[in-house]
Amino acid sequence: MQEGEVLRVSDLKVAFDVNGSPVEVVKGISFRVCSGAVTAVVGESGSGKSVTAQAIMRILPRNGAITAGSIEFRPESGEVTDVVQQMANGPSMRALRGSAVSMIFQEPMSSLSPVHSVGNQVEESLRIHARGAGMSRKELREATEETLGLVGFPNPHRAYDMYPFEMSGGLRQRAMIAMALICRPALLIADEPTTALDVTVQAQIIKLLKELQDKLGMAVLLITHDLGVVANMADEVVVVYDGRVVESGPVEDIFRDPRHEYLKALLNAAPHFDMAPDHRLAALRGGNRGVIEMTKGKVKRSQPDDRPLLTVSGLSKIYHLRRASIFGGPAKVIRAVDNVAFTIRRGECLGLVGESGSGKTTVSKILTRAITPDTGTIIFDDGDEQIDVLALNERDLKRFRPRLQMVFQDPVSSLSPRMTIGDILREPMQIHGQGSRSEQMARAKDLLSSVELGVNALNRYPHSFSGGQRQRIGIARALAMNPDLLILDEPVSALDVSVQAQVLNLLKDLQAEMGLTYLFIAHNLAVVKYMAERVAVMAAGRIVEIGPCESIFDAPAHPYTRALLKAVPFADIDRPLVLDELVLKGSSDPRNWPDAFRGEMAELAAIDLGEGHQVLARQTADIREFHA
């Protein structure tokens, strides 16, 4: 080990026992982490990056084992330990874990025990390690609250007694960080620490991790797939592909002068804000696509025109929570959707952006009549007749359903594992009684080729397909009914960057060929910019800003939109995150917005800024507010 290194991994190999035969997942990875610096390990899912982290902590699943290599670790004491030589659960390894090396995980929702208070779980790390030995209960609690304050809990004393389910995702991740840092480790391993979080919360956590790293002088091993996060945090980068390091070096070299084809492709595959409108993402893996014959028996879809296909107005959905006590008190009301109005023109893609809990999924469920709104109308105009979607009766609704189809976020759970792909694709046709069995099979083949999958997929089951392939099957299923409008609910957020580019390109091609209209729901702004012509931004159940893509991205008028745009990390080391007050305070909470944008729906109006760009604000708002 060289001077200044905290961790040196040399030629690490890890194999898993799969049904009796060993499968090598990590095939010789080497890298180092220097004290006070961040090393990022970048790769796709399945590249072996998380397994490497588990190997360092010696918390591999029971069927996994380190087969070769060394993991040398040198904490502040200066004594070098080869982690590989230790017993995984022996006293020496347990003394290191959680104390000198600690780890935070991707899922703040499930990483904490739901039945123990946050204080209990954070304090436990201190209690079982040397640092907390001999402390009284009072001292332990004080130390815990101090760390909770350090990671940004506004009221550590209260947070100590709270349970994880009472907290937002961001606060839970802060609690995880507190747990990892309470013993002041020499090395923090962060495994996708921000992937499950909303953009603005991600920005806060990135900032927090950087500040803490400075303050505590620890080394960080960051494991991620997001090059934007890497550009903002890392000093050194290790790119892993299929269990091997394909490129490594200082962050400058990696971004300015990528050498390996895989890294170059990865940098090109991610959509970003500076794309030209006609830019096309370079997918890492291409495929041959058949053009689907959609017009069979029915000529439709004229040129895109200005007559809206879908007109939504005054949509509201209110949830009443149970009363807080028998002694009354006002019943709590949640406005999941608050007076939402928008139109989608034929042949266009409208992006719907917002954080979790902003109401965007509720809107999509209302459109498909899965949820009944309290007020509002939805008019679907197919050119021949106007359909009032919310007024349809059972029979007409069934006739209407093929016009409006959906693609879901999770490619794993949205396909039944017990049905073959052929059955999955034929099911909508069976439900609506379209065609004979052979016609349905022929159509299923067409659909498969249109999403770049071979005919041999028909008799296979979903589990034999990758995430990207499954998502394409989901798209094919949605197309089976020849729909006019496709609601895409976070269709790529569960996919790797390389696969994401492929699916996005596919969606674009299908739209152009078939004249489809999209409602594209996403939290990734770059993806929305790539896909959509117009964007609607949702926060707290309201559409706070809507307009053409360029004006929203270039001249955002609403403080929330601005915060959202500022919080996106760029895969560009020359454009680090600069976070303003609003992002740090929590930009999705209307209470933090300036006066001109706050208030009941009745006091606000959609103010037109030209070219269809509208922002929700008070009528009396100063125009300068919109050009900050």
Partner 1 sequence: MLYYIFRRVLMMIPTLIITSALIFAIIEAPPGDYLESYIAELQAQGEAVDTAKIEYLRKEYGFDKTPVERYFTWVSGMFVGDFGYSFAYELPVTAVVGDRIYLTILVSMATIIFTWLIAFPIGIYSATHQYSWNDYGFTFLGLLGLATPNFLLALVLMYLANVWFGTSIGGLMDPRFVGQPMSWAKFLSVLDHLWVPVIVIGTSGTAGMIRRIRANLLDELQKQYVTTARAKGLHPFRALVKYPLRMSLNFFISDIGSLLPAVISGAEVVAIVLSLETTGPLLISALQSQDMYLAGSFLMFLSLLTVVGVLISDIALAYLDPRIRLSGGVRK
Residue 345: both structure tokens together = 């023109």
Could you say whether residue 322 binds partner 1 (CB under 8 A)?
A: yes
Could you say whether residue 103 binds partner 1 (CB under 8 A)?
A: yes
Taking CB under 8 A as the criterion, the residue among 17, 82, 89, 603 binding partner 1 is: 89
Using CA atoms, how far apart are residues 218 and 37, in angstroms rounded to an integer? 7
236: helix, strand or coil? strand
Could you say whether residue 165 binds partner 1 (CB under 8 A)?
A: yes
- With contacts defined by CB under 8 A, name the span among 107-115, 221-229, 293-301, 568-576 that binds partner 1: 107-115
Comparing CB distances to partner 1, the nearer of 45 and 368 is: 45
Q: Which residues are registered as beta bridge partners of 547?
A: 535
Least Å distance between CB 359 and partner 1?
Answer: 21
Q: Which residues are registered as beta bridge partners of 70?
A: 10
Could you say whether residue 204 binds partner 1 (CB under 8 A)?
A: no
Could you say whether residue 97 binds partner 1 (CB under 8 A)?
A: yes
Least Å distance between CB 104 and partner 1?
Answer: 9
Comparing CB distances to partner 1, the nearer of 26 and 504 is: 26
Using CA atoms, how far apart are residues 320 and 91, in angstroms rounded to an integer? 52
Using CA atoms, how far apart are residues 221 and 104, in angstroms rounded to an integer? 10
x-marked contacts with partner 1 along 177-196 as a string, rule CB under 8 A = --x-----------------
Q: What order of strands is seen across the sheet that includes strand 101-104? A: 101-104, 187-191, 219-224, 38-42, 236-241, 244-250
Taking CB under 8 A as the criterion, the residue among 78, 114, 297, 610 binding partner 1 is: 114
> The tokens 């927090």 sit on which residue?
208
x-marked contacts with partner 1 along 54-73 as a string, rule CB under 8 A = ---x-x--------------
Could you say whether residue 167 binds partner 1 (CB under 8 A)?
A: no
Backbone angles phi, psi at 306, to 5 degrees: -85, -10
Using CA atoms, how far apart are residues 388 and 312, in angstroms rounded to an integer? 10
Taking CB under 8 A as the criterion, the residue among 6, 38, 71, 112 binding partner 1 is: 112
Could you say whether residue 330 binds partner 1 (CB under 8 A)?
A: no
- 132: which DSSP letter? G
Q: Give the E-state strand segments of 58-124 in sequence order.
A: 64-73, 81-82, 101-104
Q: Which residues are registered as beta bridge partners of 342?
A: 312
Taking CB under 8 A as the criterion, the residue among 31, 73, 105, 241 binding partner 1 is: 105
Question: Measuring CA to CA, how many Å separate 129 from each of 83, 206, 312, 318, 377?
Answer: 18, 27, 58, 49, 61
Comparing CB distances to partner 1, the nearer of 280 and 332 is: 332
Helix 437-450 × helix 467-479 angle, to 10°: 130
Taking CB under 8 A as the criterion, the residue among 176, 389, 404, 453 binding partner 1 is: 176
Torsion of CA 45, 47, 51, 52, to 10 degrees: -130
Least Å distance between CB 96 and partner 1?
Answer: 7
x-marked contacts with partner 1 along 119-158 as a string, rule CB under 8 A = -----xx--xx-----------------------------
114: helix, strand or coil? coil
* Contact residues: partner 1, CB under 8 A: 57, 59, 89, 93-99, 102-103, 105, 107, 110-117, 124-125, 128-129, 163, 165-166, 176, 179, 321-326
